[in-house]
Amino acid sequence: MNWEFNLPVKIIFGNKKRYGLKECIDEIGGTKGVLVCGKSFEKSGVANEFVEISNGKIAAIFSDVRPNPTTDNVDACVELMRTIGADFAVALGGGSPMDCCKAACAIARGHDSIKSYHSGGKKISEDEVIPMIAVATTSGTASEVTNISVLTDLEKNLKNPMNDPLMYPKTAIIDPELTLTVPKQITASTGLDVLAHAIESYWATIHQPICSACSVYACRLVFEWLEKAYNEPDNLEAREKMACASIIAGVAFSHPRTTGSHACSFPLTNIYNVPHGEACAFTLDYFLRFNAQNADENGRIQRLAEDCGFKDAFEMADEISAMKKRMGMKTTLSQIGCTTNEQIDELAHKSMSMLMTRNPIELKEEDIRDMYYSLR
C-alpha cells in the first residue's frame, strides 16, 4: 500500500479562538483584506465584530454569497478584492462563504473570470493567489481544511468541485461558540454531511490509514453528539464535539475524497434544492447497506460499524435511517418532489459524476436508477 499525506493548514481549535484573528492575519503578512460571509452575519453584527478584531486590517465586507455559491458570486467577490488591492481574505461561514472565498483568493491577483478555471480548464497559478483564513460557523463541510471549492455555474446548470494544491486556506479557526446560533434543521443537515465525509472517505477506492483513523473517530463523535446538538442547541459541549467531528472528518476526506452519496447529492441539491448535508444523507444508508453487502474488502466496513458500537453495517445503516427521520430529514423522492420516471432517470444520469468512480464497487447508471426507484 502506498500513500502520501500533506495537509498544509494551521488548525486552531477552541472556544473564543476567533479573538486571535489579528495575530493570524499578522502571521500571513496581511495588510488589507476582505471578509467574505453570508448576509445574516452582516445583519447580526458578527461581521463588524470581525472587522474590529482585525484591528482595521479587514477593509471591506463581501456578503453577496448564496447557499451553494455560484461562479457569479465568486466573480463579484474577486472584483472587490481586485478593486481594493486585497492581499488576504477571511471567510466567515459555512461551506458556502468559505468556498466562494477560496475560489476568489485563488485568482485574486489575476484578470480572468473563475469560469475559465471552474469549467474552462485553466490552471490556478501561484502568482495569482492571495492567502486566506477560514473561520468555520457550521460543523459540516470542513471546507476550512480542504483545497476544494464547490461552485455552481448557473448558465451551464453545473454544480462541480474544483480543487488545486494552491487552494488550501493558510489558517483554519474553529471556534465552537460560533455554531451556537445554527438553527436545528441546519445542525442536522450539516452534521449528517460530517457523517457522510467520514464514512465515504473510509471506503473510497483511494482510502489511506491516517484518513481512515480519522473517519472512525469522527463517526463515533457524530453518533454520540449530533442529536444532542440538534435537541439542545445551546449545549456548548455538544457543539464542541460536533465541531471536532467536522474538522476530523475534513482530515478524513482531504485525500480520499468522497464517493456515491456526494455524487448523488449534487443533482439532489441542484434540481430539488435539498441542502447539501441532507442531500448526502439521502442515499448514505443505502450506500452503506449496498457496499457492506457487495464491496466489503477484508471486512473493513464491518469493522467500522463495530468500532462505532454496532453489531454490523446493516444495524449502523438502520440507525442512520432512524436518525434522519428523528431529525426531520427528507427520506423519499416523493417528499422532495421527484415523482415521475423521467425525473428519476434524469437524477440517475446526473448522479454519475467523477466521485461515483471512487465508490468501492463500480456502479452503473442502471444501478443508481434502481437505487432511486427504491427510494420513491
Ligand X SMILES: NC(=O)c1ccc[n+]([C@@H]2O[C@H](COP(=O)([O-])OP(=O)(O)OC[C@H]3O[C@@H](n4cnc5c(N)ncnc54)[C@H](O)[C@@H]3O)[C@@H](O)[C@H]2O)c1
Q: Which residues bind ligand X (CB under 6 A)?
A: 38, 40, 67-68, 93-96, 99, 137-138, 140-141, 143, 146, 148-150, 178-179, 181-182, 186, 190, 193, 276-277
Alpha carbons 361 and 283: distance in angstroms, whole number: 16
Of 99-118, binders to Zn ion (CB under 5 A) are none
Which residue number, 251 or 305, has a Cβ lying nearer to ligand X?
251
Asked if residue 200 binds Zn ion (CB under 5 A), the reply is no
**Which secondary-structure segment (H or E) carries 74?**
helix 71-84
Does residue 144 touch Zn ion according to CB under 5 A? no
Q: 180 or 210, CB closer to ligand X?
A: 180
Cα-Cα-Cα-Cα dihedral sign, residues 111, 113, 116, 122 = positive
**C-alpha gyration radius of the chain:** 20
* Listed ranges 69-77, 80-88, 127-135, 186-194: which one lies at the site for Zn ion (CB under 5 A): 186-194
Q: How far is the CB of 305 from Zn ion (least distance, A)?
A: 21
For residues 62 and 93, give the distance between their C-alpha atoms in angstroms, rounded to a whole number: 12
- Tell me whether residue 241 or residue 276 sits nearer to ligand X (CB atom): 276
Return the half-sphere exposure (C-beta side, CA atoms, 13 A cut-off) of residue 220. Answer: 11
Residue whose entry in the numeric block shows the C-alpha cell 481512515: 212
Window contacting Zn ion (CB under 5 A); options: 16-24, 116-124, 187-195, 308-316? 187-195
Binding residues with Zn ion: total (CB under 5 A)? 1
Which of 46, 50, 45, 146 has its CA nearest to residue 98?
146
Give the interface segment with Zn ion, choosing from 189-197, 230-238, 240-248, 332-340 (CB under 5 A).
189-197
Q: Select 107 or 280, whichever has its Cβ closest to Zn ion.
A: 280
Minimum distance, C-beta of residue 207 to Zn ion, in the bound complex (Å): 17
Nearest to 186 by CA among 236, 235, 138, 220: 138
Query: Could you say which of ligand X, Zn ion, none residue 138 binds, taking C-beta under 5 to 8 angstroms by partner kind?
Result: ligand X
What burial class does residue 6 get, using C-beta atoms within 10 Å of its C-beta: 0-12 exposed, 13-18 middle, 19+ buried?
exposed
- Please report the DSSP string for 116-130 in residue order: HHHTT-PPP-GGG--
CB nearer to ligand X: give 216 or 249.
249
Q: How far is the CB of 341 from ligand X (least distance, A)?
A: 27
Nearer to ligand X, 47 or 305 (CB): 47
DSSP 70: B
Shortest spacing between CB 141 and ligand X, in angstroms: 4
What's the grid cell of residue 327? 431529525
Q: Which of 73, 359 has the CB closer to ligand X?
A: 73
Phi, psi of 344 (to 5 degrees): -65, -40
Pairing of strands 148-153, 158-163: antiparallel
Residue 223 Cβ, how far from ligand X at the closest point, in Å? 20
List the one residue out of 70, 279, 36 whose CA is nearest residue 157. 70
CB of 121 to ligand X, least distance (A): 20
Q: Nearest-CB residue to Zn ion?
A: 193
Q: Cβ(41)–Cβ(20) under 8 Å?
A: no
Residue 193 vs 240, nearer CB to Zn ion: 193
Tell me the closest approach of the beta carbon of residue 118 to ligand X, in angstroms. 13
- In the DSSP assignment, the letter for residue 336 is H
Taking CB under 5 A as the criterion, the residue among 193, 240, 285, 296 binding Zn ion is 193
Per CB under 5 A, does 72 bind Zn ion?
A: no
Closest CB 178 distance from ligand X, rounded Å: 5
With beta carbons less than 8 A apart as the criterion, state whether 358 and 262 touch: no
Interface positions with Zn ion (CB under 5 A): 193
